[in-house]
A and B are shown apart, each in its own frame.
Chain A
Amino acid sequence: MLNFETTVQDSKSYGDLTLSEMEPILKINLRSNKREFSTKIGKLLSIIPPIEANTSSSNEDYSILWLSPDEWLIYSSNKISYEKQNLLEENLFKNISNINQGSVTNVTDHWVMINLKGSKIYDLLSKSSPYDFKNFKMKKGSVAQTLLNHTDVILHNLDDNNLNLFVRRSFSEDLWLWINDSARFL
């Protein structure tokens, strides 16, 4: 097996704020505007892709985040082995892409997932994100696609003061430094 090497490989605490990279997590991008697509996904993963903007559906194993009217991001709730990742990707590809019901693209290493917990996470985000988090933080499962320190991120609200942040791998080291720098001044 090849060595697995992510960008951050760290977790930090500042008061009650904790920041930790959560990898390896499976991430798959889905795109479709076909009618049967939702049912197919429901059967394969036991979750229906949400149709309401900026929301998500979750079960014990996976979350599906709404990204656009025809695009979703699936990610696994827990760390998952490479073999299991492959199996799921192949199964989805076979049952969606191969029968022309949409696209299935593995983006596991495209995104790095960082978990942020603590009472001041929104103070941290508001330092460089123009997004209005008022509704986002009130609704568990909310999804936001915004900028953090000029970098594209996807945010998924897990619970009160607990969210997952997805950032592109190439930007992740830079953003991690910024997050840690800003966390010092909360």
Chain B
Amino acid sequence: MTQELRINNNKFIDQTTRLSFKFNGEKLYGYKGDTLASALLANNIHLVGRSFKYHRPRGIMTCGSEEPNAIVQIGNDPSLTDPNVRATEIELYEGLEAFSQNCWPNVKFDIGGINNLLSPLLPAGFYYKTFMWPASFWEKYEFFIRHSAGLGKSPTKPDPDIYDHKHYHCDVLVVGGGISGIMAAKLSAENNKDTLLLDDKNTLGGTTIYQNNDCFKIDDNHTNYWLEKEIKNIKNIKNLTIKTRTSLAAYHGYNYLLAKENITDHLSPDERKDKIRQRLWKIRAKKVIIATGSIERPLIFNNNDRPGIMLSSAIKKFIDFYGVKTGREISLFTNNDSVYETAISLKKSGVNIISIIDIRDKSSSKIVEEVEKHNIKIYWNHTIVNTEGYRRISFIEIMKLSDDGSGVIGKKIKLKTDCLGISGGWTPMVHLFTQSGGKLKFRSDDNVFLPDKNKTPSDQISIGSCNGDFDIKDIILNSNKDVKTFLGIENSSFDNLKVESSKEKMKRNIWLLPSDKPIGKTKPFLDFQNDSTAKDVKLALREGFKSIEHVKRYTTTGMGTDQGKLSNMHALGIIAETTGTNMGELGTTTFRPPYTPLTFGAIVGRNVGEFFDHTRKTAMHNWHVQNKAKFENVGQWKRAWYYPKNGETMFEAVQRESKAARESVGILDASTLGKIDIQGTDASEFLNRVYTNAWSKLAIGKCRYGLMLNEDGMVYDDGVTTRLGENHYIMTTTTGGAANVLTKLEDYLQTEWPELDVYLTTVTDHFSTISICGPNSKKILSKVIPDLDLSDEKFPHMSFKNSIINRIKCRVMRISFTGEHSYEINIQSNYAKNVWELCMDAGKNYNITPYGTETMHLLRAEKGFIITGQDTDGTMTPSDLQMDWIIGKKKFDFIGKRSLYRSDTIRDDRKQLVGLLTDDPNEILEEGAQIVEKLNQKPVEMLGHVTSSYFSPNLNKSIALAVMKSGKKLKGKKFFVPMENKNINVTVTDTVFFDKENKRLNA
């Protein structure tokens, strides 16, 4: 470490704890409390990366989240590396390894630097103009463009870190722990409001915490001393929660905000193990106080991007907070008083100040007078016209400004310097305010956009420098006053503070500082990350782009990872100046969340891997797993799909399962179907209104199939409902539709039919359903429930019985979705697995075969039974499905009835459900395949598509269901199903392929 660049008089860095780290492979040392940026500067390293477009050498420019240049790759494992980390924000830890980005073979010698020589040929819009022709070449260009695009390298392996979420509610959220934020948090918490104070740094206090200047005092103490005491005090207030290392990422409507807390990013890899890396806070605050401060603006002049050129405020923080001198011979360049504070800090630390170049004629403020006492040379009314030094600034050239500031006059003066601090004024951080929906107003005195109090969403205020108060006296007085009003507080401990400051009296702003060369020969950078210059903006304007949003996209100004925090105001200023527009009328670009980049990990939290999505499991799930079932996702349920045996493919397993169910007995876990318990004196009337068919005459103990329509007459859901008692039914719904059906029915009861005495309760999870189907199903059931009379007379198809299995009550329905003689046992879920096992035991001698959803689909397709959502798609009426029989034409009303008689729904040429048989019985159609009549027609008319398709082992041929225009009239006609390599000949048939007479139901 270069010890001469360290000073030992500050308390923010623990100089007793030395940390080793590597930068571009070189082992270096820093101290606990350093950022990577401060440690690099202490090692006399300014050059940290290359710019995006021209590959120009770039150095550390700021000390915060606005950093455009010092973005590095962290970690030496390419599979787990972290790109685009700002060196100014990452805290140093033992073993940190960082690499420069966007350079090859290294940052000092970068082949891409050739772009800088070619820069006259690469103006704004170069890509848009060059790669437009010939159009067919785009894919070739794209290959190279994609290789050179982007900053940093993405890791190739899944992120191994753990991330977390936290929901938080508070009365008042204070964003920003600078002086105004500290005051607001104290006022709020002391007045019994649950208060949350967030700051993105690890130390509270903003810039004031290291402001130890005689010109700025509070109650006769230096401002840092006064603030330290306040911070110590607020840490003891009970209802104040302080989160440091937590940056506000997004401010949504109604005071819902997201913040990212860095928990272990500052720890060494060993200390991080098994700990949460970052936590995303989801904050709902009754009131929000924004105290996000402001950031210093750069100045725009020729070659203003060399390593060693930094914001003056950053130089001050590095010396006062981190104890690091950023150079040995520093010059300062300004249009305001801020650099004079930096000058005093540097002087106190014994740094040689070559000169101060000030574009103003003079300033008579207290701080300037203080600097003048130190005999520092100040060049008033001068500007820098050029800088020199490839990898580090070495010289500046200055000239006197003309009276109107548009040009330079006199003799050029060349000054040797190894670091240049620049200050172009201050920009309030209004990003969060605008994200929340607030509108800005423009203050022309100092060219700043500020929150418009009249257009501020309710329950929030902005205070401090983000509200345009830059003087410490104004900050304290206005923050105190505004917070008191906002929170309804009468008196505060800040009411009678005595504040001394140095009021800035003289301002001058020139957005693009002149050079002695024509603009075409200069490089005045606006956006340091994306390499857009002032002349790019002017070119865009000449080419007709007027809106700031268009100029932004054409020149890429403000589109880097820093989101143009440093560049946007200058771009606006230059556009306004060039076009003769008022900046306030021009407006700003849109500030979108996140304010600073968020990791995907923080966004996702723990919802990765096994927690990516819910899985719902039936009571028999473990049995299915033990019996090697393959599962399919149905809604959030895991449903047994098929049970392969001895290496069977799905096709083979399904063929075996289907045959077994038709020839002997199959067993299915049907627990996932929605079940709604319906009670009340108007239950029958309710069902009449919900379903298309009639329900009043359904006898107790009987079951009936129903179709439920939407208001538009389209099939919405279907299922069997059973009458358990006079005023008691149990409805089943589709698996995926269960929740929506219940919500819809409850909605109808509460809003449309409040007169009905009906109560709905979901019992989907309470009951598990075991379906036994096949010619031997009766034999199985008689073994499991010996006391139940299963004769067709006592227990006919479409009826139900209450019964008991080993002292546990159950409901048995004789209903069928396969066309076979079937029973469904509904039993409390906690006993269901045992009943399933009893059934399997009872069926041993009958080759009882568990089957999954795929076989269920095949069996029902053989019978032409629809599956809502597969054979319907929200555009099918019952009539389209050839199910006119289910519409109760004499019924007064039901949901969707009126829509069934619209001209569109009675059209003959609607798509209607049909059966399809392939001429080759072994040819299986693909679901979704289109059906056409003429192969050579262009464009070919698509008459419909296949909705369900299987090879039926029971019919020994392929079968399919499809929807086709005028399908009802097409029986017997031949069509084609064109596929990629062949055309399949098909014939339209009836939708029922198997047991048309329904003889097997009672077999």
Contact = CB atoms under 8 A, between A and B. Distances in A.
Most interface-central of B637, B679, B805 (chain A CB within 10 A)? B679
B252 to A, nearest CB: 13
A140 B84 CA distance: 50
Nearest to B274: A184
Most interface-central of A31, A103, A181 (chain B CB within 10 A)? A103
A31 B681 contact: no
B805 A2 contact: yes
B116 interface: no
A158 B862 CA distance: 55
Contact of B727 (A70, A100, A105): A100
B830 A109 contact: yes
A23 B828 CA distance: 14
Interface stretch (A38-46, A54-62, A113-121, A165-173): A165-173
Given A1-B806, A4-B831, A170 B610 contact: no
B623 to A, nearest CB: 10
A161 interface: no
A23 B681 CA distance: 34
A63 interface: no
A108 interface: yes
A82 to B, nearest CB: 7
A150 B614 contact: yes
A5 B620 CA distance: 10
A145 interface: no
B658 to A, nearest CB: 27
A170 to B, nearest CB: 4
Given A2-B835, A128-B167, A31 B759 contact: yes
B222 interface: no
A106 interface: yes
Contacts of B611: 149, 177-178, 181
A107 B765 CA distance: 8
B761 A103 contact: yes
B679 A130 contact: no
B807 A1 contact: yes
Interface string A76-103: 0000001000100000000001001011
B830 A6 contact: yes
Nearest to A131: B167
Interface string B829-858: 111011100000000000000000000000
Contact of A86 (B616, B727, B761, B809): B809
A29 interface: yes
Given A103-B680, A126-B168, A170-B617, A2 B765 contact: no
Contact of B829 (A1, A29, A104, A169): A169
Nearest to B620: A5
Contacts of A24: 830
A6 B276 CA distance: 32
A31 B761 contact: yes
Contact of B616 (A105, A131, A170): A170
A21 to B, nearest CB: 11
A145 to B, nearest CB: 14
B487 to A, nearest CB: 18
B764 A110 contact: yes
Contacts of B194: 134
B766 interface: yes
Contact of B766 (A97, A109, A174): A109
A106 B765 CA distance: 11
Given A3-B834, A105-B761, A110-B765, A170 B637 contact: yes
Given A105-B761, A178-B606, A169 B807 contact: no
A109 B829 contact: yes
Nearest to A133: B169
Contacts of B762: 110
Contacts of A170: 616-618, 637, 764-765
Interface size class of A (residues with CB under 8 A): 35 or more
Interface string A120-159: 0000001111111010000000000000011100000000
B926 interface: no
A27 B284 CA distance: 34
A102 B606 CA distance: 42
Interface in A23-76: 23-24, 29, 31-32, 70
B744 interface: no
Contact of B615 (A32, A110, A174): A174
B834 A171 contact: no
Given A130-B282, A170-B617, A185-B162, A2 B168 contact: no
Contact of A32 (B606, B759, B828, B830): B759
A70 B828 CA distance: 25
Nearest to B672: A170
A149 B760 CA distance: 26
Interface residues of B, number: 52
B164 interface: yes
B808 A1 contact: yes
A129 B679 contact: no
Contacts of A11: none
A29 B761 contact: yes
A80 to B, nearest CB: 13
B757 interface: yes
B165 interface: yes
Interface string B846-883: 00000000000000000000000000000000000000
Contact of B614 (A4, A110, A130, A151): A151
B619 interface: yes
B610 A109 contact: no
Contact of A2 (B167, B764, B807): B807
Interface string B131-169: 000000000000000000000000000000010111111
Nearest to A104: B679
A173 B828 CA distance: 17
Most interface-central of B162, B605, B616 (chain A CB within 10 A)? B616
Contacts of B169: 132, 134
A13 interface: no
A33 to B, nearest CB: 9
Contact of A103 (B284, B605, B677): B677
Contacts of A3: 831, 833-834
A28 to B, nearest CB: 10
A127 B164 contact: yes
A105 B614 contact: no
A105 B982 CA distance: 57
A109 B761 contact: no
Nearest to B767: A109
A106 B619 CA distance: 17
Nearest to B768: A109
B830 A173 contact: no
Most interface-central of B275, B762, B828 (chain A CB within 10 A)? B828
Given A103-B759, A105-B761, A174 B830 contact: no
A2 B808 contact: yes
Given A4-B830, A185-B164, A171 B805 contact: no
B913 to A, nearest CB: 32
B134 to A, nearest CB: 51
Given A5-B833, A106-B766, A185-B276, A132 B284 contact: yes
A73 B167 CA distance: 27
B728 interface: yes
Contacts of B605: 128
B685 to A, nearest CB: 14
23 contacts: A2-B806, A2-B807, A2-B834, A4-B831, A5-B831, A31-B679, A82-B808, A97-B679, A103-B759, A106-B763, A106-B828, A108-B766, A109-B830, A110-B762, A110-B765, A110-B829, A128-B167, A131-B167, A134-B194, A149-B611, A168-B764, A168-B765, A177-B610
The list of the 9 closest CB pairs from A to B, nearest first, reads: A103-B679, A103-B759, A110-B766, A31-B759, A170-B616, A132-B169, A105-B761, A169-B765, A3-B834
Given A31-B759, A110-B762, 18 more contacts: A1-B807, A2-B805, A6-B830, A32-B759, A82-B807, A86-B809, A105-B763, A108-B828, A127-B164, A131-B167, A149-B611, A149-B614, A151-B614, A168-B765, A173-B617, A174-B614, A174-B617, A182-B164
